[in-house]
A and B are shown apart, each in its own frame.
Chain A
Amino acid sequence: MSPATRGDEVWSIDDLELELRKLPGVRAAGFEDADDMLVVQLHVAERPERINRTDRNDQSVPVSASRIAARHADRPVAVEVVRWRNAPSMPAPAPLPEAAAAVPEAAPPEPAAAQAAQTEPAPTATVIDTTVEEEASESNRTRLLAVLAFPDTDELEVHLVLEGRRTIGRAAASRGIEGAVEATIDAVRDLGAGFHPRLRWARALTDAEVGNGDQEVVGVALDGVDSRALLHYGMAAGTSLIDAAARATLDALNRRLSRTR
């Protein structure tokens, strides 16, 4: 824990995990290696349980988590934040049991029942998942893992996964919405899509048009998706314009994506 006792290794995954667990509402953290990337999964309760905090309260968990992970890790990191909106408030901390009776009998965790996990996309340059419900029922659907923007190097990355295979599409971050669409198409191409979508137009919808509160909404039109030369339209909401643009692109491609190999 202390930098003084770690010898030459200043960083460890334990330090990263502790900092992540200190973020408001975080109840669980998991780590997974995927290609050359570290995937960090956080489960966050809807209502932060901790009130005795002064650090980073003004930032959302996804943004804080991404910054912490990037600061600690020596390789690319994707942060998935899963929010548990329906989780009931936890009982007051119970005193540690003296007898076994106070500790739950060992039992396998039951499969998810009525409580549906809900995920919430994170703001720009982070996260993001992905709908857990879809993961269960439609594992063969293409999922958006992350939209990462690197303003310093003018890079934008879109991370997709289909049946365990991850691809990364890239474009210039300075191209904004169009860049996010192009990066998404680039990632789709790497999944082995047999079609070649092209961006016709993309634009952000205004609050007056969609009235969607905090979220950004983007509409896109693609051609080259099928042989009928039709435009394919997509629209989606996200916590940033580039996030929404990537989701809208997937929406436009919709059912075509499960056929890519």
Chain B
Amino acid sequence: MSQQSSVARGLGALFPGPSGQRATTDPAAGSDASSGVKRMNALGEDFASAVATSESGIGLIYKALDSLVEQFELDDAAVVIEEASLGQQVFCAGRRPLGIDDEELLVSPPGLYTRPALDDHTFDRSMMLTLCVLALRLDVLRYDAWHDALTGLYDRRSFDRLLEMAIARSTRYEWPFTLVLLDLDHFKNINDEQGHQAGDAALRDLGERFRRALRFGDNAGRIGGDEFAMILPNTEADLVPALLDRVRRTEGIESACPAFSFGVAQCPQEANEFDKLVQLADTRLYEAKQAKR
């Protein structure tokens, strides 16, 4: 088995083609340059397909590097890529930290780097590089699509999906959680009297406070103009005021916390359907707002 076909088979196992038919593993394929290029093109199609359907581009980049190391029996491999919004990025096989010997990678131009040198000329480096860039780019786009650009929290769409998942888990495993709906007080006044920049600053401020105050496993999203929501697993409703007090007193943020009101609903104790849960929390939020007027 030639080195080339080993690689094709190895990467092919990682990135199986849609049809399941793999020209890359055709043992009858010749060893001349043209058939080598054909093999890599087929591999490229599969890689591209995997990039488009995979949940994680970064994960694919590491899989490709690890496969390269394994199939070519390399000591190490790294790829340096340039992505439009992230700038130059270095990835090392095995997701390992960079050592002193790797510092040159940080100032190297985009490319595939291996130790020892990979002298198989049928291996299409430019294709791998292109697909790694594409994989990373898709990750960035997916991330941006699921997060609110202003606050960095989940946006409405992703939060709704998280809530659906939380309800499903709660129903299936009886894992309780509390849904908190929260909205800024007098947000319209902030915008009208201090300008929209001040309004945006208040929203960013609250988003940052959530990021700092919430535990691992808690999720927060901005679900509307000045509306936020949180999913708090294993948290009783009577603990929510203390949590929100911690949000108000978040250390390291000099500005005063914007005033807000909130309403809570517990799943599954009070409701275990999406609409009912949200409606219950929303009603309580409305009541809290009314009580302040």
A: which residues have CB within 8 A of B?
1-6, 8, 10-15, 17-19, 21-22, 27-28, 30-32, 39, 41, 43, 45, 49-50, 52, 54-56, 67, 70-74, 80, 82, 84, 87-88, 90-91, 93-94, 96-100, 102-113, 115, 117, 132, 135-136, 151
Contact = CB atoms under 8 A, between A and B. Distances in A.
Given A108-B117, A109-B78, A117 B103 contact: yes
B101 interface: yes
A104 B88 contact: no
Contact of B115 (A2, A109, A112): A109
Given A73-B216, A135-B100, A21 B108 contact: no
Contacts of B188: none
A103 B114 CA distance: 13
B106 A27 contact: yes
A106 B105 contact: no
B106 A43 contact: yes
Interface of B: 55-59, 76, 78, 82, 84-92, 95-98, 100-119, 121, 125-126, 129-130, 133, 139-140, 142-143, 145-146, 149-150, 152, 154, 158, 161-162, 165, 169, 211-212, 214, 216-217, 219, 251
B55 A103 contact: no
A6 B55 CA distance: 8
Contacts of A39: 97
B89 A27 contact: yes
Contacts of A22: 85-86, 140, 143
B146 to A, nearest CB: 5
21 contacts: A1-B139, A2-B55, A2-B145, A4-B162, A10-B165, A13-B95, A18-B139, A18-B140, A22-B140, A31-B96, A55-B149, A67-B211, A71-B216, A84-B103, A91-B109, A94-B110, A96-B133, A98-B126, A111-B100, A111-B104, A115-B107
A104 B109 contact: yes
A52 B119 CA distance: 39
Contact of A117 (B55, B88, B100): B100
B58 A17 contact: yes
A70 B58 CA distance: 20
Contacts of B82: 93-94
Given A12-B56, A28-B90, A106 B219 contact: no
Contacts of B76: 108
B251 A151 contact: yes
Nearest to A64: B211
B130 to A, nearest CB: 5
Nearest to A56: B152
Contact of B105 (A55, A97, A109): A109
Contacts of B149: 54-55
B126 A41 contact: no
Contacts of B115: 108-109
Nearest to B154: A3
Most buried by A among B95, B112, B114, B219: B95
A32 B117 CA distance: 26
B97 to A, nearest CB: 3
Contacts of B59: 12, 14
Given A2-B142, A8-B169, A96-B130, A106 B112 contact: yes
A99 B98 CA distance: 28
B87 A49 contact: yes
Given A28-B90, A106-B119, A108-B117, 20 more contacts: A2-B55, A3-B154, A6-B55, A14-B58, A21-B86, A27-B89, A28-B92, A28-B98, A71-B216, A88-B107, A96-B130, A104-B111, A104-B113, A106-B117, A107-B114, A108-B113, A108-B115, A110-B104, A111-B100, A111-B104
Nearest to B173: A8
B88 A71 contact: no
A102 B126 CA distance: 8
Contact of B143 (A1, A50, A99, A113): A1
Nearest to B200: A54
Nearest to B118: A106
Contact of B125 (A5, A11, A100): A100
A4 B113 contact: no
Most buried by B among A22, A30, A56, A87: A30
A192 B57 CA distance: 45
Contact of A50 (B56, B86, B113, B145): B86
A103 B129 CA distance: 9
